[in-house]
Amino acid sequence: MIRFTTAALVCGGIVVLGAVTSGAGTTDTLGRLGAVDARAGAFTCALAAGLTVYYMTRWGLPVSTTQAIVGPGVMRGGRDVDWCLVRNIGLGWLTTPLVAAVVCVVALFFVQNAFDQPVHREK
């Protein structure tokens, strides 16, 4: 086990690294959903996403900030929304957990074989 502070620092560093290396692509994709042309529009989208994440978290429902911002982005875009892009985003939301599960199962298999014993939890 590692201390909470160490885990938080490692996690925070990885999040920042991901934002720096892949943030531009995400921003470009979300920008194509619908143009936000003014500060007030950007504020409204950010406020709507923030409130969505806040209330969903209070109600104990899992939510992603990316998922929360796509809704206002689509609403703001009106008829100019690239629905093909929305479909691709939705497919990403569905396939990412499945791919992650497969990667975890493969990693577990290798860890079990590396230590020649099954990984289990004590009760």
Residue-range definition of the domain harbouring residue 109: 82-123
Mean pLDDT over each residue of the chain, to the nearest integer? 78
Residue 73 neighbours by CB distance under 10 Å: 24
Name the residue with higher pLDDT: 48 or 17: 17
Query: Is 108 found in the same domain as 57?
Result: no
- Is residue 62 located within the same domain as residue 73? yes
State how far the Cα of 123 lies from the Cα of 120, in Å rounded to an integer.
10
User: Do both 90 and 67 map to the same domain?
Assistant: no
Are 6 and 36 within one domain? yes
| DSSP percent split of the chain into helix, strand, coil, nearest 5 | 80, 0, 20
Do 86 and 75 share a structural domain? no
Enter the pTM of the model.
0.49
Query: 89 falls in which pLDDT band (50, 70, 90)?
Result: confident
Question: What is d(CA 26, CA 35) in angstroms, rounded to the nearest whole number?
Answer: 14
